């Protein structure tokens, strides 16, 4: 199912409501079986899936041939859905974004990021269905950013405990807009400030919440000490941010999914980052994503 395999000594997958979970890697990820997402799920199953999502951080479902209507309805069981201001939307369902490049142009999601962290209220979760993909290539990686934080040296934890980071839509999406669109979206989506270490509102976990896709700088780095000159301050900030960004690239915190048509990945966007590998061009990979609105990081 993925490059990571459950260890032989692992206990039998636990049963939850009307489905079964099978852990995929020690750090993150579980495969869900025994469920048909075309059905209307009862409240107990939705609650159990949400619990599993918080625990495992990304859930994988195979062979789920759902329609766009069913995709939107399923995602809505977990919260209100956003409409993305830049990505192309499904013609009949603006809550579904259409992702993927063409034979003429690569897709550009191959950077570690947390979806829409540039919003004042970032997403709770994303639900992505594979419509079309090459026979090989185009995998996606997810990263457990709670474990990335937990394993940081104590001195780094102390340094970043009260730091805040600026997240901005423009570095990744500004080039896709006209000058007029940039001006309009700069008003609608000003840069926002989130804590470098956020707290998961359901699990209470501490999470490293900066990403190279949308985090531009630290808002209050000067508060961490006295600096000789601006040179020291600026390079110290950049070095710290780069160090924090690199935590997402540590394989021990990751799981990697090999896609097939009608595979669905459902991830907790508060506690993960992901990276869509662009190794399949000029083949085409087409995906549909619904994104569930979350809560203000604290």
Q: Is the pLDDT of residue 244 over 90?
A: yes
Identify the weakest region by mean pLDDT among 3-7, 35-39, 166-170, 269-273.
Answer: 3-7
Of 50, 56, 84, 113, which is the active-site residue?
113
Decide if 289 is catalytic.
yes
pTM for the model: 0.90
Q: Which of 205, 117, 225 is closest to 165 using CA atoms? A: 117
The pLDDT value given to residue 16: 59
pLDDT at 12 over 70: no
Predicted confidence (pLDDT) at residue 72 exceeds the cutoff of 50: yes
Q: What's the rounded mean pLDDT across residues 124-152?
A: 96
Active-site hit among 50, 115, 168, 268? 115
> Does position 92 have pLDDT exceeding 70, yes or no?
yes
Alpha-carbon distance of 158 to 173, in angstroms, equals 33
In the chain, the percentage of residues whose pLDDT exceeds 90 is: 76
For residue 243, the SS3 value is: helix
Q: Is the pLDDT of residue 269 over 70?
A: yes
Does 286 score more than 70 pLDDT? Answer: yes
Is residue 113 part of the annotated active site? The answer reads yes
* The one catalytic residue among 16, 71, 119, 274: 274
**For the chain, where are the alpha helices, taking DSSP H only?**
43-56, 68-76, 145-150, 154-160, 170-173, 179-188, 230-246
The answer to whether 1 touches 62, Cβ cutoff 8 Å, is yes
Residue 100 has a pLDDT of 84
């Amino acid at each position: 199912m993925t490059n990571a395999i459950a260890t032989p000594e692992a206990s039998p997958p636990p049963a939850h409501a009307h489905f079964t979970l099978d852990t995929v890697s020690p750090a993150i990820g579980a495969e869900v079986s025994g469920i048909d997402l075309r059905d209307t799920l009862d409240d107990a199953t939705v609650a159990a899936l949400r619990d599993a999502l918080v625990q495992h951080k990304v859930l994988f479902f195979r062979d789920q041939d759902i329609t766009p209507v069913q995709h939107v309805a399923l995602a809505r069981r977990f919260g209100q859905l956003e409409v993305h201001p830049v990505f192309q939307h499904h013609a009949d369902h603006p809550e579904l974004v259409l992702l993927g490049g063409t034979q003429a142009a690569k897709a550009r999601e191959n950077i570690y990021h947390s979806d829409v962290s540039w919003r004042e209220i970032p997403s709770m979760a994303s639900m992505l269905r594979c419509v079309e993909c090459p026979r090989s290539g185009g995998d996606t990686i997810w990263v457990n950013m709670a474990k990335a934080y937990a394993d940081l040296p104590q001195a780094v934890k102390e340094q970043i405990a009260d730091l805040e980071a600026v997240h901005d839509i423009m570095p990744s999406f500004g080039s896709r807009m006209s000058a007029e669109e940039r001006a309009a979206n700069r008003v609608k989506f000003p840069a926002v400030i989130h804590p470098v270490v956020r707290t998961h509102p359901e699990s209470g976990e501490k999470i490293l919440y900066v990403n190279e896709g949308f985090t531009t700088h630290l808002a209050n780095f000067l508060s961490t000490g006295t600096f000789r000159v601006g040179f020291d301050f600026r390079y110290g900030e950049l070095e710290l941010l780069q160090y924090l960004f690199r935590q997402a690239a540590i394989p021990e915190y990751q799981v990697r999914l090999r896609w097939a048509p009608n595979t669905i990945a459902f991830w907790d966007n508060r506690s993960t980052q992901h990276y869509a590998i662009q190794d399949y061009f000029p083949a085409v990979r087409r995906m549909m994503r619904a994104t569930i609105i979350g809560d203000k990081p604290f």
